[in-house]
Structure 1
Amino acid sequence: MNDDKTHPISLEGRKRVIKQIEDEVFGLGPLEPLLNDRSVSDILVNGPQNVYVERFGKLERTPHTFLDEKHLRNIIDRIVSQVGRRIDEASPMVDARLKDGSRVNAIIQPLAIDGASVSIRRFAVDRLTMDNMLGFNSLSPEMAKFVEAAVTGELNILISGGTGSGKTTTLNIFSGFIPSNKRIVTIEDSAELQLQQPHVVRLETRPANLEGKGEITQRDLVKNSLRMRPDRIVIGEVRGAEAVDMLSAMNTGHDGSLATIHANTPRDALSRVENMFAMAGWNMTAKNLRSQIASAIHVVVQMERQEDGKRRMVSICEINGMEGDVITMSEIFKFRVVVLMRRVIFLANI
């Protein structure tokens, strides 16, 4: 008996090998099965041997790996070439949107010390609704009714939250309450919003080319949107000088505007807007600036990704006005954790 005799590959094994070859030739190699897994919301690559995904709010390591750094770099080159970009030592970072709407960020050596890194935020194929948020216990029915009334009533709403807290998803759901007869202009760094109304104009920023020219910023787009006769302006995330033009729009008849901001509390959100004015070189006393903010923003909604991985709306605050130099606000809703009959439930208090 010859123990060295080669065993034939099984049918399942053959299919698996063929699929791997197809992924390498036509797809994105080891990332392809993860991109096809609808339960995966984020794909995070930390060098060739460490590939993580986020499922249902929790990170987990996968068995998928790259052969070596060269293999990973080849896949990164394939990703960025699809969007007409390049990545090399002269330009070692790329932030772009894939054809399916997913956002990708890649960074290579020498900036990424331990090997190339890739972060992919998957585009949500299934558009979530307020009913989904209620089913996930992300907010209470009373909060949902308040939000719907606030959006249809043309209040200016700022959605605040940390990274991965669900700000963009929440913005998309809120935007769904805008009446269908309104002209909506959306402004994003990477187009993610999926508005269903018939009269929507989507605008997306553009990075500078290799010569450092041609950049179109969010501020450029906000300024331009004011000439487009919008009924509602929706900004994916306020990060810098565009805050000046956003507040100007809110204070000059463009009610019902919606935007998100990276902040951990409603008070932090207002402070960040104030800091953005300083970044833009705006020369105004603190009191006058805060007065502008207080008159422009009506409601701040706080999102949070909690320890169990779930994203919840933890606070809704109304901006009341000014007392001296301080913006005053009232917390209309707040989530509280209470243990009832061995179950953790969330209550929203008015």
Structure 2
Amino acid sequence: MLYVLVKTKKGTLVGNYSSDKAGCILGRSSSSLVPMAGRKVADEHAHLEERTDGLYVIDGGHRAGTLVNNVRVKEYGPINKDDVIAISDYRLQFRFVRIGNNEEDSFSKRASILPVKSVEEPSPVNNEKMTRWREKIRRSLVSYMDLRRVNVADMDDDALRIFTAEAIDRIIQDHEDIDSEIDKDELARQVLAEAVGLGPLEPLLADDDISEVMVNARDEIFYEKAGRLNKSEVTFTDDAAVISAIERIVSPLGRRIDESSPMVDARLKDGSRVNAVIPPLALKGPNITIRKFMKERLTADHLIKFGSLNKSMVSFLELAVAQRKNILISGGTGSGKTTLLNVLSNFIPDNERIVTVEDAAELKLYQPNLVALEARPPNQEGKGAVHIRDLVKNCLRMRPDRIVVGECRGGEALDMLQAMNTGHEGSLTTVHANTPRDCISRLEVLVLMSGMDLPVQAIREQISSAIDLIVQQSRFSCGTRKVTSITEVNGLEGGIIQLSEIYRYSQRGYDKEGRVRGDFGATGNIPDFVEELRSRHIEVDMNLFGGAQESEAIQDGF
């Protein structure tokens, strides 16, 4: 494991990074382990190489060179944890621990968090003083920028962060009256995070164990960890700091938030979902809700490990996706529908053309022939909006083999059903509903929202012929998320859509830690499409539907 601590030449912390691979590039390249910027930094300025006796740094030949402990080198190693590697204005320290080595020290503990310190709650007294000093330093920073007429628009993100960090460092040094119990390094980090980052949200977003962050007001920040809500003692300085953080999220996406448009949906760079509301709609002040995505690519194996479903269910769903069955993922808010949609979408073969349609892009598909479409809100004049339904209609002209819609929440449900019925088999989408039967009723309502005055019988015929499977996702009170049912749609009989449950999760109470316990099992019903496959001499493992119970490993769920 490789840990990297990055500072400026003035000693101000830029960030902490880690990698499970020792060999990597350092420079301006997008594949660089450490984000770097500046004219004195080459795309591949240097690279790291693992050898039998440790980690080596090799200079890439740029005229600015690579320095180790203030001495220019072409190659240096093995690198010691106290060695300082200088590339332009960046100062890097490395800690390399081979797998299986339990050696640990203060450096690796500090650097193992990405990209800032972990969540450490200060005492209420220190928090009040920190907030007061953070406000003072921030005002001084604004004056410092104004006096020097700094044009931040000409700087990229990394250059701005380094310049701002150096300015904050000078300002803190000039304030000799800072309370002795205030950690100046932590004060500098918080001011920097609020000035050019997301403020107190950064350590929460950096903690991989935190799944959701909720800002109710500037001084009320909650986060979900291991399925339970906790209140953070760290706060924003004022409402203006919260709004600045929102603007830094939405501006790169071409979206806006102001009094005329006080609500916005957006995403972070890693795909995490963001919703923000500001006054006059938000009475307590601007609020933010962030639903985090895992940093690593989530696979079906992860879901099995989390106890969200079992191997038989995964094998069945993979078979259904491969055989181009239309799948609808149903579930409540925060139940993990989009996460499951992501996993199932990656079962689609690489030789098929996929078009994804989302309100705010969250899906991460890896197939080569992929087009991703994202809806657009209206501009300041209230014009130029492009809705999900417009995109679904348009994608039918793009020769897709499969259509993946992030969520059907309106009239686009009718267009999606028509697409599934007209040559786009194997499409996937999600709907808000608590049970498979409720999901059918919900679809009927969404189709009526399209403005087409269709009789209920016609709508049900569309649904029964379009949807093959409904996968029900549920979130339990302990925070665990599980696939509680996989149900096949068997057609229309007597005006009622017939459903046949293939898999079911049976709850058996709770364990000592309050987490739900239960079993996944096949009901014994054989899906109709499996019988069709067998009639075409396509082999299917019938043990998947034997009804044998498979015990669940007790996990937190995704």
**What TM-score comes out, normalization by structure 2 length?**
0.59
Distance in 1 of aligned mates of 2:458 and 2:177:
81
1:60 partner amino acid:
N
Distance in 2 of aligned mates of 1:250 and 1:332:
22
Distance in 2 of aligned mates of 1:195 and 1:103:
16
Structure 2 match to 1:309: 479
Query: Of 181, 188, 194, which aligns to 1:24?
Result: 194
Distance in 2 of aligned mates of 1:254 and 1:78:
38
Query: Of 445, 449, 455, which aligns to 1:279?
Result: 449
1:92 pairs with 2:265:
no
1:52-105 CA distances to partner (integer Å, 9 max, x unpaired)? 112233322112212333433343344444444433322222222233433222
SS at 1:237's partner residue?
coil
1:25 deviation in Å?
2.3
Which stretch has the larger CA shift, 76-85 or 329-338?
76-85
Cα gap change, 1:21 to 1:69, in 2 (>3 Å):
closer
1:244-255 matched pairs, under 5 angstroms: 244-255=414-425
Which stretch has the larger CA shift, 31-40 or 178-187?
31-40
1:306-345 matched pairs, under 5 angstroms: 306-338=476-508, 344-345=517-518
Preserved contact between residue 82 and residue 98 of structure 1 (Cα < 8 Å): no
1:139 pairs with 2:309:
yes
Structure 1 match to 2:519: 346
1:339 deviation in Å?
6.7
1:340 deviation in Å?
11
Distance in 2 of aligned mates of 1:29 and 1:101:
19
Preserved contact between residue 160 and residue 263 of structure 1 (Cα < 8 Å): yes
1:18 deviation in Å?
2.2
Query: Of 322, 325, 328, which aligns to 1:152?
Result: 322
1:187 partner amino acid:
V
Distance in 2 of aligned mates of 1:267 and 1:165:
17
1:166-185 matched pairs, under 5 angstroms: 166-185=336-355
Structure 1 match to 2:434: 264
1:96-131 CA distances to partner (integer Å, 9 max, x unpaired)? 223343322211222111222111222432121111
SS at 2:200's partner residue?
helix
Which stretch has the larger CA shift, 72-81 or 322-331?
72-81
Distance in 1 of aligned mates of 2:238 and 2:306:
40
1:195 deviation in Å?
0.9
2:339 partner amino acid:
T
Distance in 2 of aligned mates of 1:193 and 1:33:
24
Query: Of 116, 121, 131, which aligns to 2:291?
Result: 121
2:520 partner amino acid:
L
Query: Of 201, 204, 212, which aligns to 1:42?
Result: 212
SS at 1:146's partner residue?
helix
Q: List runs of 5+ in structure 1 lacking aligned partners.
A: none
Q: Report the identity percentage.
A: 52
1:285-300 matched pairs, under 5 angstroms: 285-300=455-470
Distance in 1 of aligned mates of 2:395 and 2:177:
67
SS at 2:406's partner residue?
strand
1:317 deviation in Å?
0.6
Count of aligned pairs between the two proteins: 345
- Bigger relative contact order, structure 1 or 2 (CA pairs below 8 A, ≥6 apart): 1
Cα gap change, 1:85 to 1:219, in 2 (>3 Å):
closer
Cα gap change, 1:13 to 1:318, in 2 (>3 Å):
same
Cα RMSD after superposing both structures: 2.3
Structure 2 match to 1:60: 230
Distance in 1 of aligned mates of 2:436 and 2:362:
24
1:212 deviation in Å?
1.1
Structure 1 match to 2:359: 189
Distance in 2 of aligned mates of 1:270 and 1:71:
44
Preserved contact between residue 48 and residue 67 of structure 1 (Cα < 8 Å): yes
1:15 deviation in Å?
2.3
Preserved contact between residue 158 and residue 259 of structure 1 (Cα < 8 Å): yes
1:54 partner amino acid:
E
Q: List runs of 5+ in structure 2 lacking aligned partners.
A: 1-175, 524-558
Query: Of 393, 400, 408, which aligns to 1:230?
Result: 400
Distance in 2 of aligned mates of 1:339 and 1:42:
26
1:212-231 matched pairs, under 5 angstroms: 212-231=382-401
1:264 deviation in Å?
0.7
1:175 deviation in Å?
0.8
1:169-227 CA distances to partner (integer Å, 9 max, x unpaired)? 00011111111111111111111111111111111111111111111111111111111
